[in-house]
Amino acid sequence: MFLYAYLLFTNMLVYHYSIIDWPFKYVKRNIIKAMQSILESFKMAINLMLDLNPLLLEIVGLSLGVSLTAVLLASVCGFFAGALLALCSFPGRQAILVILNAFMGLPPVAVGLTVYLLLSRAGPLGDWGLLFTPGAMIFAQWILVTPLIAALSRQVIEDLNVEYRELLWSLGANRLGMLLTLLWEGRLSLTTVMLAGFGRAVAEVGAVLIVGGNIVHHTRVMTTSIVLETAKGNLSQALALGIILIVIACLINAVISISKNYAERASA
Amino acid sequence: MNNIHKIRMFLGALFLCLMIPVCAAQQFITLASTTSTQASGFFDYYLPIFQNKTGVEVRVVAVGTGQALKLGENGDADVLLVHDKVGELKFIEEGFGVDRREVMFNDFVLIGPEADPAKITGLKDAVGAFQRIAESKSEFVSRGDDSGTHRLELRLWKEANIDPHGDGVTWYKEAGAGMGAVLNMLAAGGNAYTISDRATWIAFENRKGLALLDEGDPRLFNQYALILVNPEKHPHVKKEQALMFMDWMTSPEGQKAIGEFKLRDQVLFTPNAGANQ
């Protein structure tokens, strides 16, 4: 509301001083135009959220379902892989670390294409019939997120290990006991690691578009519908969906951070 | 203990959420089609009619014609609805598809800036228009994605005796993107031309300063056809349901429904099943 009033006001100013600051007039007007279309998207986003449009709910639900499942699965693998890398030393460990760190930046389209080739009927896992299902999307995001979670949790566990190693040895803990204890001790930092993974999963479009196919009521998620609306030239609708995605990400982060604070206080 | 219980509840709920879409529709076929049919909203209108009648859900994967044919080749779709006759006939000849049926048509149109620096407005001659664009060195944005539209565009350049990939050609840009993305580029960039299918153009919202400049050349005829992915090559293809869909789409009822789909008071696809086969 205030922002809108401000825009009207600046608009008037621009016209009023149009002769004096003519070199800036064009730029200013374009900025205002852009601001207005962004504002329109905000309005649209709010309307869409208040409407509880069933299609939107379905899309949001699928986005969250797919990405959360992928992150949970990736966490199970990533935490243990990270902890093992932190605690064990073996030949080739350094090479694995380098590869793992590089894989944090795996390009989603390349992962999508690889998963497509695996799951295609002409590929080795074609008989599973998973292509163009939510399962395929979970699979692709799992591949994307696991290296990130493994690499970050290795760092967390390694730091904790320096702190607790002597104590745990003196208590007579074996390797497995140490690994589990350190994972438990690092649980708060590890939730942050999971959030980073979730952010990567829920925001990517390259992989889910290829292996999911953006099928309405079935594999259409937030990011793929943004792509579709952009292709239709519905730019404000596309941006509105983007805004909703950001709002949801904020909500999830808020919930996690509140419960983290609560847990920290409880354990202190 | 309490925490573990909560986590277990959460996982259970999540699992259920994921299972719902899997169980909801047991009968479905996968249709690989082009971006024009999806972006224009045609499928959102058309497929529910078929599903209500037969209970078979049609799941659409919308890609360029080149990629749709590739999906069919790999057996990742049951039916194709595409628009590149040359590519389709080759696809069938190589044994990847059977039972090609023409179902509907529309046409391609030339889109460009309202000011029209290359003066192609109302030429009714696509090749002539392409020559004028090349002569005036006006920017041309190509799909560059091996779609049906891209393949037609390349044939038109060939007929106009112009090599857009030749040395010294700076006005030709390959976007490697879908029709909508290319139109968005034009809307943002000012003075460029492109060729679009009429359906995407009519449905396109972000038209800033763009206009339909030339149409009506018979070369711009755009035929859409259904192809069944060869069940002998890919035994998992749902032949029965796929044929049900193909039969319905070419039936008088399915054809009538195609002709009744309008946007901005214009018919997007004209049914013509069985007209010239």
Residues A209-263 pLDDT 10s? 999 999 988 999 999 999 998 888 888 888 899 999 999 999 998 998 898 888 8
The answer to whether position B3 is within a domain reads no
CATH number where B125 lies:
3.40.190.10
Q: Say whether A232 and B62 touch across the interface (CB within 8 A).
A: no
Amino acid letter, B141: V
- Structurally, chain B folds into a number of domains equal to 2
Residue range B217-242, pLDDT digits in tens: 999 999 999 999 999 999 999 999 99
Residue range A129-139, pLDDT digits in tens: 899 999 999 99
Q: Say whether A233 and B21 touch across the interface (CB within 8 A).
A: no
| Chain B closest-CA separation from residue A236 CA (Å) | 10
Cα pseudo-dihedral B7, B12, B15, B16, rounded to 10: -140
Q: Report the pLDDT value the prediction gives residue A35, as an integer from 0 to 100.
A: 83
> Across the interface, which of A65, A134, A232 has its CB nearest the CB of B39?
A232
Euclidean distance between CA atoms A103 and B23, whole angstroms: 35
Residue range A47-99, pLDDT digits in tens: 888 887 888 889 999 999 999 999 999 999 999 999 999 988 889 999 999 99
pLDDT band at B39 (very low <50, low <70, confident <90, very high): confident
Q: Which domain holds residue B59?
A: 28-106+223-271
Secondary structure (H, E, C), B180-226: HHHHHHHHHHCCEEEEEEHHHHHHCCCCCCEEEEECCCHHHEEEEEE
Listed residues B220, B236, B252: the one ending a domain: B220
Residue A188's alpha-carbon distances to A60, A182, A185, B34, B63, in angstroms, are: 27, 11, 8, 47, 43
Q: Kindly state whether residues B53 and B131 are assigned to the same domain.
A: no
The answer to whether position B252 is within a domain reads yes
Q: Report the pLDDT value the prediction gives residue A18, as an integer from 0 to 100.
A: 47
Euclidean distance between CA atoms A109 and B13, whole angstroms: 30
| Chain A closest-CA separation from residue B136 CA (Å) | 28
**Considering only CA atoms, which of B107, B109, B103 is closest in space to residue B224?**
B103
The answer to whether position A14 is within a domain reads no
Q: Report the pLDDT value the prediction gives residue B18, as an integer from 0 to 100.
A: 53
Residue A162's alpha-carbon distances to A87, A90, A155, B16, B45, in angstroms, are: 10, 18, 11, 41, 62
Q: Report the pLDDT value the prediction gives residue B23, as an integer from 0 to 100.
A: 46
Name B264's Cβ contacts closer than 8 Å, sequence gap at least 6.
B202
The answer to whether position A13 is within a domain reads no
| Chain B closest-CA separation from residue A213 CA (Å) | 5
Q: Kindly state whether residues B180 and B227 are assigned to the same domain.
A: no
> Across the interface, which of B18, B44, B206 has its CB nearest the CB of A233?
B206
| Chain B closest-CA separation from residue A135 CA (Å) | 9
Euclidean distance between CA atoms A62 and A69, whole angstroms: 10
Q: Kindly state whether residues B210 and B236 are assigned to the same domain.
A: no
> Across the interface, which of B18, B178, B207 has its CB nearest the CB of A231?
B178
Euclidean distance between CA atoms B50 and B256, whole angstroms: 13
- Structurally, chain A folds into a number of domains equal to 1
Chain B residues in contact with A115 (beta carbon < 8 A): none
Which chain A residue has its CA at the smallest distance from B17's CA? Answer: A65
Euclidean distance between CA atoms B17 and A65, whole angstroms: 7
Across B89-97, average pLDDT: 94
Q: What does DSSP assign to residue B78?
A: S
pLDDT band at A26 (very low <50, low <70, confident <90, very high): low
Euclidean distance between CA atoms A40 and A9, whole angstroms: 17
Q: Report the pLDDT value the prediction gives residue B36, as an integer from 0 to 100.
A: 84
Q: Kindly state whether residues B215 and B123 are assigned to the same domain.
A: yes
CB A186 within 8 A of CB A149: no
The answer to whether position B7 is within a domain reads no
Q: Is the pLDDT of residue B13 over 70?
A: no
Distance of CA B16 to the CA centre of its chain: 35
CB B104 within 8 A of CB B257: no
Distance of CA A257 to the CA centre of its chain: 16
Structure tokens of B269? 């696809």
